[in-house]
Amino acid sequence: MNGMNGAKWLIGRQPILDREERVYAYELLFRGSHVNRADVPEPSLATASVILGVLSGFGMRQVLGIHPGFINVGRDFLFSDAIELAPPERTVLEILETIEPTRSVIERCRHLKESGFRLALDDHQFRPEFESLYPLVEFVKIDVSITDPDELATTLRQLGSYPFRLIAEKVESREQFHHCVELGFHHFQGYYFARPSILERRRLGDAESVVLHVLRLLAADANIDEIEGALRQGPTLVYKLLVLLNSVAFALRERVTTLRHAIAMLGRRQMQRWLQLALFASDDDRGLDNPVLDLAAVRASFMEQLARRLPAEASPPDGPEKAFMVGILSLMSAVYDVSVDELVRTLNLANEVSSALLSRQGVLGELLLAVEHVERGDHEGARPGIERLGVPWQQVMEAQWVAFAWRTGPA
């Protein structure tokens, strides 16, 4: 158990979406900073202890925003008193498929449900011996990657008489998603939703063109009259942008009277950041519950925080601001029908930003590669680049927590 108290841990989050492809919840996937877990004799209890320790230290709000969190629970942790440290109103206990529905398990689940926790069954198939447990469960996860398509409909019919909500796990394609919708699943989880391919590709519209124009003006240090004049060319965008600004972590403390007033309140730096986010949010009814926007926001802030932790000799001029921009723009070509080359030409980006986006070169390119590895849970892949840049590994976790807090707002 060496390192349970002293080791630094990173968090993985995978979105669970509703039928409208909006973020409904997150499954929290905690991993150690080292791949080798052989020193941990009870993985379920160890993982759960780390989860509770980190959440107690940083708070659920920073990790989850307004959404509930699903946490895997092994048998040891199911019966541990430590489980009740988690806030029940925010926590869904995901009972692993290795747990059998014994009398003691059923009684324990009943107590947890009465305490306010919601329960889920992981990787489940209908089994008659679970009929005493089913009334206590709110969610059932079915791994659609290992369930025969012809058997899925039968499985759902068998489970259909119970009031729980069905979650399709391991959804890997749009076709599979639509099939699961037709079968009656309520929620969906899988790499398909965690990747930018969730959005249909589309060309830049008028509103996006205005955003790009304003970003160019900001980069050129244009005066406020030019910026306001450009924004006035996209009146619907101005409305959406102000809604966006008020709905995340940047809380306006006074009423906005004019567009010029809003620009002055935000400042050029915040304006630039939120315009970058607006490129993702415009024309998408899901807004900030869009998993791609969520990924873009966290990635950008994560990169900025890592850049702030670079040794002075390794950091390029305006490194944190440029790192933030690289994080946002690194996902744009997958959302819009525009190549990275075209994106770089259109925005007239700084050389360091262009090199990072085009070929993952330079300090910003190294940061982007490291963050992409962390997002995939490949911490060993991230470590060499982080070490070359001179960022202490334990500070990677701190940077990620700040990124989650920036996305979800203060606790």
What would the pLDDT profile of 223-242 be if each residue is shown by its tens digit?
Answer: 988 988 887 766 555 655 55
Task: Please indicate, yes or no, whether residues 113 and 30 belong to a single structural domain of this protein.
Answer: yes
Last residue of a domain, which of 194, 228, 258? 194
3-class DSSP state for residue 195? coil
Total domains in the fold of the chain: 3
- Per-residue model confidence (pLDDT) at position 254: 55
Task: Please indicate, yes or no, whether residues 349 and 230 belong to a single structural domain of this protein.
Answer: no
What DSSP string runs through 249-299? S---SS---SHHHHHHHHHHHHHHHHHHHHHHHTT-TTGGG-HHHHHHHHH
- Per-residue model confidence (pLDDT) at position 336: 62
- Per-residue model confidence (pLDDT) at position 281: 53
Task: Please indicate, yes or no, whether residues 133 and 247 belong to a single structural domain of this protein.
Answer: no
CA dist., res. 372 & res. 375, Å (int): 5
Last residue of a domain, which of 281, 313, 336? 281
CATH classification at residue 188: 3.20.20.450
- Per-residue model confidence (pLDDT) at position 132: 92
**Cα 87 → chain centroid:** 20
Task: Please indicate, yes or no, whether residues 61 and 166 belong to a single structural domain of this protein.
Answer: yes
Decide if 188 is inside a domain.
yes
Closest by Cα among 95, 63, 59 to 77: 95
Last residue of a domain, which of 281, 313, 342? 281
- Per-residue model confidence (pLDDT) at position 278: 64
Task: Please indicate, yes or no, whether residues 36 and 113 belong to a single structural domain of this protein.
Answer: yes
Closest by Cα among 9, 119, 11 to 408: 11
Using the structure block, give the residue that is written with the tokens 């996937």: 29
- Per-residue model confidence (pLDDT) at position 345: 75
CA dist., res. 188 & res. 15, Å (int): 9
Q: Give the residue numbers spanning the domain of 70.
A: 9-194
Spatial neighbors of 142 by CB under 8 A, at least 6 apart, are 123, 124, 125, 152, 155, 166, 167, 168, 169, 185
Decide if 40 is inside a domain.
yes
Decide if 81 is inside a domain.
yes
Using the structure block, give the residue that is written with the tokens 């080791």: 7
Decide if 315 is inside a domain.
yes
Task: Please indicate, yes or no, whether residues 56 and 111 belong to a single structural domain of this protein.
Answer: yes
Task: Please indicate, yes or no, whether residues 74 and 177 belong to a single structural domain of this protein.
Answer: yes
- Per-residue model confidence (pLDDT) at position 269: 80
CA dist., res. 102 & res. 365, Å (int): 52
Pick out the chain residues at pLDDT < 70: 1-10, 30-62, 192-208, 233-259, 261-262, 277-290, 293, 333-337, 346-348, 406-411
